[in-house]
Chain A
Amino acid sequence: MKEKILSGLIYLLVTGMGIFAYLYPLLETPQQGQISTNRQTELPIVMAMILALCTLVLIYEIQQHRLNTKLIALLGILIAINSILRFIDLALPILGGFSPVFFLILIVGYVFGGRVGFLMGSLTMLVSALVTAGVGPWLPNQMITAGWVGLSAALAKRLSLLTGQKGKRGELIILMVFGVIWGFLFGAITNLWFWPFLNGPSNQMFTAGAGFAQSMRNYGIFYMATSFIWDTTRAIGNFLLLFFFGEATLRVLRRFQNRFYFVQLNETGEAR
């Protein structure tokens, strides 16, 4: 029980820190305007560092408990498949923000749990960056956000359990809603990594020390002007992929889940 509380605390701290890292430039009050201007070079370094650290700590915590040989092999292969799928959005930027990788991240997180989902998301970004020469300061940001996509799938599972929809059509609807939300949210979160350091029209850009409400308003306008349509294609893509392939993929993964997890019984037939 104590272990669970400790693990929960670590997840809470890491997630809180990650969210704080994204919102940190926006939280500064007008009184801090001058210091914020001085921080222009410090901000991106701190943000990339904190996000990388959050990802490392979460991965470390997860691998302590959950990873046996079967899960390692499973994740390796699924990440390989997902990395191939990522070539599609790199090769066809004409499709806007559409990326087929979130489909598998969500479904794996839903079937195997949020921790495995987190690994699936963050390691998909890492591996695909390695094979497409996409390693850069943006990687920690992509890794943690994609990890959150997989982690949040546990919430979708909880929802379908609560509504009694597990194994029914309703669970797919819940997943589709999550897919659409993440279609927009992934873009909105990853934009925050570079938005405070951009130049542009004053009503769309981050102004040091402008305060949270004003910063959020400016960000909202910036997002609507630059990313909304791009992200809509991602949300629609997630919806369509889950609609057409969700049910079949869930069935396949569940069948293999039964083969991956087995309980060793003792002589009296009780689980060891």
Chain B
Amino acid sequence: MKIHTIAWTIWLSTGLVILLSNRNPLYLLIADLILIIFQIWITPAGSRVFSATLRLGTTILLLSTFLNMVISRFGETVLFRLPDSIPLLGGPYTLESMIYGLTNGLILIGIFSLFTILNRVVSVRSLMRLIPQAFHPVAVITSIAITFIPASQKQFQAIREAQSIRGQEVKKIKDWLPLIIPMLIGGLERAMQIAEAMTARGFTAQTDQKPLRVEKIALAVGLVLILLGWVLDLGTQRIFSGWRFIALGLLLLLSLFFASGWRKRKTVYTKEPWTLVSSLISVLTLTTNFIFLFLSAGRGTLNYDPYPVLRLPEFSLLHGFSILTLLTPLFFIKENQFDQD
């Protein structure tokens, strides 16, 4: 069943919230396992993509653990000790530093997996449609660029063949000039044709009226507010102490973008349907966001610190189960459905 791109984006945000808002290895391990299962499900059998991802994940995990053990000698459970006479490497190696490094690795693997999955399940066109209406000229530029990449590749190939028929060989850097310049000129000629075609069809990126001065002032004020909140946050000893200014600045900028987008009419050839499944995924994953960000019950289990003596991380059933919502899309997509991507 089709899942809407926005539902995928909400799913992504939940993954990021889970991975970045806690340091409990148990939660991170659950999240990583879910994402690995997800990748196995959507990757066709025999594909190298998954094995490459797995290799990279293992490397990240080992490197992160090893480096943290080398750099951090804190902790009371000594696993082994190298002679102090060995520069940099000498000294005790602790279980606590190993777990800390492992936790870092789990976070990195999770983030990497999340984006690998998103890139696989959402098509380029759908990602492009996420560009807000306020940025419609940028969306058009992106659309033209993506459409013309295959055409430009073909053009490059044609030029290369034409030049080799003339005896042109690419041996030195300078030999690329007869390939690059015709490609550039051909591309620019094509740009002229596109521009004329767009104008002939009534497209214009310029609005009838000049941008309002109040918009510019709002942009500047929004930025100043965010900067102010941020500096306040840094200057004082409390985390997020300037969040009111940051929130106000963000609200101002987002309202401005929204208002600007509202003025432009947007039409789509085929509208992506919002299905019941999309609603289900969005509601479930947003609930997980709420649990991880705002729920006070079980909040203490998120900030796990292995130092100075390793202890078992606490586990909140609610938080643990809520991570499982990341699996929801799997129940609605077919195995290897994304082969064509």
| Chain B interface, DSSP helix/strand/loop, else mixed | helix
A57 pairs with B253, CB closer than 8 A: yes
Which of A20, A39, A73 meets B198, CB within 8 Å? A73
Within the assembled complex, what's the spacing in Å between the Cα atoms of A38 and B303? Answer: 10
B140 pairs with A72, CB closer than 8 A: yes
A202 pairs with B194, CB closer than 8 A: no
Contacts of B115 in A (CB 8 A): 135-137
B173 pairs with A244, CB closer than 8 A: yes
A73 pairs with B194, CB closer than 8 A: yes
Closest CB of chain B to A91's CB: distance in Å? 13
B86: Cβ under 8 A from any A Cβ: no
We find that the number of chain B residues with CB closer than 8 angstroms to chain A is 86
Within the assembled complex, what's the spacing in Å between the Cα atoms of A17 and B177? Answer: 40
Closest CB of chain A to B262's CB: distance in Å? 14
| Known contacts A39-B239, A80-B145: A7-B195 contact under CB 8 Å | no
A153: Cβ under 8 A from any B Cβ: no
Which of B72, B124, B183, B230 meets A50, CB within 8 Å? B230
| Known contacts A76-B144, A202-B71: A10-B204 contact under CB 8 Å | no
Within the assembled complex, what's the spacing in Å between the Cα atoms of A75 and B140? Answer: 10
A77 pairs with B237, CB closer than 8 A: no
- Which residue of chain A has the shortest Cβ distance to B127 in the bound complex? A130
A69 pairs with B205, CB closer than 8 A: yes
B330: Cβ under 8 A from any A Cβ: no
* Per-position 1/0 for B157-193, Cβ under 8 A of A: 0000000000000000110110011011101101110
26 inter-chain pairs at a CB distance below 8 angstroms, sorted by A residue, are A2-B213, A3-B216, A13-B223, A13-B224, A16-B227, A24-B234, A32-B237, A41-B23, A50-B230, A57-B219, A60-B134, A60-B135, A60-B260, A68-B204, A70-B192, A75-B145, A77-B187, A77-B194, A119-B141, A127-B146, A135-B118, A136-B115, A199-B64, A244-B174, A245-B180, A259-B192
| Further pairs besides A42-B240, A253-B184: 11, Cβ < 8 Å | A10-B220, A14-B223, A28-B234, A32-B234, A67-B205, A69-B205, A73-B194, A76-B145, A81-B187, A133-B120, A252-B181
Residues of A within 8 A of B (CB): 2-3, 6-7, 9-10, 13-14, 16-17, 20, 24, 27-28, 32, 35, 38-39, 41-42, 44-46, 50, 53, 56-57, 59-61, 63-65, 67-70, 72-81, 83-84, 119, 123, 126-127, 130-131, 133-137, 197, 199-202, 205, 240-241, 244-245, 248-249, 252-253, 256, 259-260
